[in-house]
Amino acid sequence: MTDNANTPVSVVGLGLMGTALARAFLKAGHPTTVWNRTAAKAGSLVAEGARLAPTIGEALDAGGVTILCLTDYSAVRDLLGDAGLEGATLVNLSSGSSAQSRETSVWAEKRGARYLDGAIMAIPSTIGTAEAMILLSGPRPDFDLGALGTISHLGEDPGLASLYDVAGLTMMWSVLNAWLQGTAMLKTAGVDAATFAPFARQIAAGVADWLPGYAEQVDKDSFPAEVAALETDARTMTHLVEECEALGVNAELPKLFKAMADRAIAAGHGGEQYPVLIREFERAGN
């Protein structure tokens, strides 16, 4: 792997995130070239030591790795449509779908570029710290982007970083929505959000500890009820729905849990353990 601080980098796209990426490279000592459609946004980075490429072609020709951080994939394809990509190494950290990642990988490789896709699981203020999680997929990189945060290479399939990105989002929204549901319920009894938060956090952490064991059941496609049967869980879901309705708070989310569990029970899985619900999640169109 090339020594981190010696790798020349070009950062293309100097929005909120691209600016943070370029600044982290500069701080770590990388020779850093920048380009942005609106060139004026490069001013502070140039003052900090970045070189402003006058054209996108010159940013690509700067001799190192080109990081793309634009609004979306169509902006990337529009921008690079006429650019010479032969011999370029592109790392596209713009957000998009796994299909767009795979298509863009084929498109870039046909034009002679080495293409890695990526996803940034962080906000700009954390870039450059270990807290910033950056996912990469595609060919294994022979350069080090550690200046940006904690880098994980997920595999050769260029769509993987985008898929992990959205899988991560479903974790985030599920936990946040569950916490808001509980908060709404407790507020009816005068308990404020700050009082519930540490309790909610403990529950979330406890449940997170179940994941490796439950993952084993999913991977083996075998769901013995070692802790509780799904029909036992479904009864507690009924209590949850009834409690929400009695309190006059929104019961949509608990009803969704219950509807999925009921379908799995109707399909004969009531005596198995909770992760058997993977069958409901794998099906489209419910």
Ligand X SMILES: NC(=O)c1ccc[n+]([C@@H]2O[C@H](COP(=O)([O-])OP(=O)(O)OC[C@H]3O[C@@H](n4cnc5c(N)ncnc54)[C@H](OP(=O)(O)O)[C@@H]3O)[C@@H](O)[C@H]2O)c1
By CB under 6 A, name the binding residues for ligand X.
13-18, 36-38, 41, 69-72, 75, 78-79, 94-95, 120, 123-124
Cβ proximity to ligand X: between 38 and 286 the closer is 38
For the bound state, the minimum distance from the C-beta of residue 7 to ligand X, rounded and expressed in Å, comes to 21
Q: Is 285 exposed, middle or buried (0-12, 13-18, 19+ CB in 10 A)?
A: exposed
Cβ proximity to ligand X: between 70 and 186 the closer is 70
For the bound state, the minimum distance from the C-beta of residue 137 to ligand X, rounded and expressed in Å, comes to 15
Helices within the chain (DSSP H only): 16-28, 43-47, 56-60, 73-80, 98-110, 160-187, 193-220, 230-247, 252-264, 278-282
Cβ proximity to ligand X: between 78 and 245 the closer is 78
Which helix (H) or strand (E) segment is 35 a member of? strand 32-35
Task: Give the residues across from 153 on adjacent strands.
Answer: 136
For the bound state, the minimum distance from the C-beta of residue 253 to ligand X, rounded and expressed in Å, comes to 26
Cβ proximity to ligand X: between 20 and 229 the closer is 20
Beta strands in 78-165 (DSSP E): 89-92, 114-121, 133-137, 150-153
For the bound state, the minimum distance from the C-beta of residue 41 to ligand X, rounded and expressed in Å, comes to 5
For the bound state, the minimum distance from the C-beta of residue 71 to ligand X, rounded and expressed in Å, comes to 4
Cβ proximity to ligand X: between 121 and 234 the closer is 121
| Calpha distance 181→244 (Å, rounded) | 9
For the bound state, the minimum distance from the C-beta of residue 21 to ligand X, rounded and expressed in Å, comes to 9
Structure tokens, 181: 């549901």
| Calpha distance 176→118 (Å, rounded) | 25
Cβ proximity to ligand X: between 77 and 255 the closer is 77
| Calpha distance 224→273 (Å, rounded) | 6
Are the beta carbons of 204 and 210 closer than 8 angstroms?
A: no
Q: Looking at beta carbons, which residue is closest to ligand X?
A: 15
For the bound state, the minimum distance from the C-beta of residue 161 to ligand X, rounded and expressed in Å, comes to 11
Cβ proximity to ligand X: between 84 and 224 the closer is 84
